[in-house]
Structures are given as structure tokens and as C-alpha cells.
Homo-oligomer: A and B are copies of this chain.
């Protein structure tokens, strides 16, 4: 279970509200973890109970009040201890691959359409990550400790998307060739 740790790691970068965290998780932090706001609020509650984060109510003009969460010393120690314990490889659980495994059940054109859709989704995502790379990490040699690790995380997201993109291209190419020479089932 790493949602708690992902939240701590994000808050360590900058203290913020659950709402802002959620935006991080669908934005820049999304290349290593994703979570809904219900999950985030629930987890923040638990973390506060355990004393790993603490909140401060901030009154705002023209907007609802917000609770800004910050990592405590215990929270940092907890995160550090977790980082030091070895972890397993993340298991693959991908709907599109399951579909592909039984793809002979539908006409090839339909599988091709889904593959092309995913290709463009991964292309978009990759383009976003590469833009972050160009804008924020123009010369990786001169980064601070913290920035360097954030940069490595971004690189992970890029490799991941690149991998999927390669596969989409490969699968489209193979399926296109084979459907040119044979008739698809219904």
C-alpha cells in the first residue's frame, strides 16, 4: 500500500490541501501514482490520526476555507523507513492486454480502432511529460538533490509511456498486415 507514502512524498515537496493534492495526482505526480479525491481525503484523515501529517485551517477570501496538510517529523521518518525497505515489481494489470489476448473474438478493425485510440492517448501523455522535461529540466546536470529525484520519476513516466507507444505501433503494424491478407470473423 503506497497511497499513504505517495501522499507523504507529495506533501514533502509542498504542503497543500486535499484538493490541491488531487490536482497533483491527476497532473505532474500522475506519472507515478493516481488516486481519487475520496481516497485522498480518507487517507489524509488516517495520516493525521497517526500523527504523520498535521493540518492547519486556512481562511480564504472568495473561496471556501481549506485545510493545508504538512508532513510531521514522524511522517518523514515513516516515509524514510518505507523507502529503505525493498519493494516488489509492480504487477501488470492492463485491460487492453486482456482484450488483446481474446481479440480473435471481434473483427480486427475493431481491435485496430482501440489500439489507435490508445496510441494517441499515450502520445498525448508522452508529449506532456516531454514538455515538462524540456521546461523544468533543461540541463539535468545542474539539479539539486531533490530536483534530481523528481526528474528521475519523470523519466520513469516517459519510459513507461514510450513502452506502451512502441507496443501500440507494433501491434497496429502486425494486425494491419495480417488483416490485409485474411477476412476477419464477426
A residues neighboring B (CB under 8 Å): 2, 5-6, 8-10, 12-13, 29-34, 76, 79-80, 82-84, 86-106, 110-111, 114, 117-118, 121-122, 125, 140, 145-146, 148-153, 155-157, 159-160, 162-164, 166-167, 170-171, 174-175, 178, 182, 185
Contact = CB atoms under 8 A, between A and B. Distances in A.
Contacts of A156: 94, 96-97, 100, 167, 171
A122 B30 CA distance: 22
B93 A79 contact: no
Contacts of A30: 92
Give the number of times this chain occurs in the complex, counting copies: 2
A2 B163 contact: no
Contacts of A170: 152, 155, 159
17 contacts: A9-B102, A12-B105, A32-B98, A33-B93, A33-B97, A83-B105, A89-B118, A97-B157, A104-B148, A148-B175, A152-B171, A152-B174, A156-B167, A159-B163, A159-B167, A159-B170, A163-B163
B92 A33 contact: yes
Contact of A174 (B84, B140, B175): B140
A107 to B, nearest CB: 10
A28 B105 CA distance: 20
Chief secondary structure at chain A's binding surface: helix
